[in-house]
Homo-oligomer: A and B are copies of this chain.
């Protein structure tokens, strides 16, 4: 029997996940719009036989440009360029169900799936925040529950569009002049609450049928959505216990939805800070943290917690009277994670900023390659993860260190693939089935 194997995803972000990463000598301040930078990162990840690359996104200018690199390449566009520059690695783009049309977005993912030979993935987000809403004609963000309701209908329509072509439409009878079989085209004729979509997609069904469906919110609405629809989940977990509870909860929810729990892969985020010795790794972390401008972190934290500017004090703890998660309309799980982290470890705002600056609340782990591999093996073995979302603090060096020093250990322990093997789709890498087109009549050969 084959031993269960880890899955690894590289979460790319310009000069790295640490907010001060751009200030280090190796970093190119223009990296966020530089295709060559991302091509290098993709090739490093492919050298490490990663399952996939991932790009976060929101249709809004997030950062204050005074503070850190802002402005990025649109993810599906960038990943399409990277599809041509790579051969094997999966390409997961974040795209919003609140600020897209199903027809347009389903087309784009189907197109990327064709172009990449079946390597497209979609991180389905509902997009929190009034700033994004105001870029699309709304005055404020729709309510959390409304956004998830729209997301479910959006995905329903997208599936109908991807299934609107059966896999074997093309007849290609040149002699007679018949290209395809019209009976194998199935217009959605969808009339719902949020969308009406009449016609078939204008892209044939892609190599994967659907792109890999990914989800990253951990609120109750988010978990419900993930249990029903997601095939991979990116999550922020600070402790082994929290991660185990989240893992067990989501697998149980998937089973309760009638799904094979193994068809939902859970990947906690990890920010590895790697050194030849533990002391070297900690020194590297300290250098990064020392480059954080605390006042910038303070403003960022106030926005995350939906507080008025000037509410927080750097050397005090968070106020006791923060609202409960239920009162927050956007990014609920991130809100709770930050508040619980600060309360659990009695962090001052300054300390909390340092912790968040490293990777926005994901598990930061500083140590030797063996220590990082040990942590990964432990979480993987103890029911906390099917793999990891690797979020290097500094790019490209952090990814290269992981690939060249941690990956070989994981391989030597038999936990991780040593090569990609025969050309496969992103679904193949994650051990997920290709969705059957519901219109396709099963073969009667074995009836």
A residues apposed to B, CB below 8 Å: 20, 22-25, 27, 29-30, 33, 35, 58-62, 64-74, 76-78, 80-81, 83-85, 99-101, 103-104, 107-108, 110-112, 114-115, 131, 134-138, 165, 169-170, 172, 174, 177-182, 185, 195-204, 291, 293, 296
Contact = CB atoms under 8 A, between A and B. Distances in A.
Contact of A137 (B65, B70, B197, B203): B197
Contact of A77 (B80, B85, B174, B185): B80
A62 B202 contact: yes
Nearest to A63: B179
B29 A174 contact: yes
Copies in the complex: 2
A177 B33 contact: no
Given A72-B202, A80-B80, A99-B101, 12 more contacts: A20-B177, A23-B174, A23-B177, A24-B174, A29-B170, A65-B185, A67-B177, A67-B178, A71-B203, A77-B112, A78-B111, A135-B199
B30 A135 contact: no
A107 B74 contact: yes
A42 to B, nearest CB: 12
A14 to B, nearest CB: 11
Contact of A179 (B70, B100, B110): B70
A208 to B, nearest CB: 14
A66 to B, nearest CB: 5
Contacts of A78: 111, 115
B204 A67 contact: no
B69 A179 contact: yes
Contacts of A35: 84, 114-115
Nearest to A191: B137
Given A103-B135, A136-B103, A108 B179 contact: no
A101 B74 CA distance: 14
Nearest to A197: B135
A72 B199 contact: no
Q: Taking each of A20, A84, A135, A296, which has the highest tally of chain B beta carbons within 10 Å of its own beta carbon?
A: A135
A332 to B, nearest CB: 23
Nearest to A136: B101
Q: Taking each of A20, A24, A58, A77, which has the highest tally of chain B beta carbons within 10 Å of its own beta carbon?
A: A77
Contact of A293 (B71, B107, B177, B197): B177
A159 to B, nearest CB: 15
Contacts of A137: 195-197
Contacts of A108: 74, 77
Contacts of A135: 103, 197-199
Nearest to A185: B65
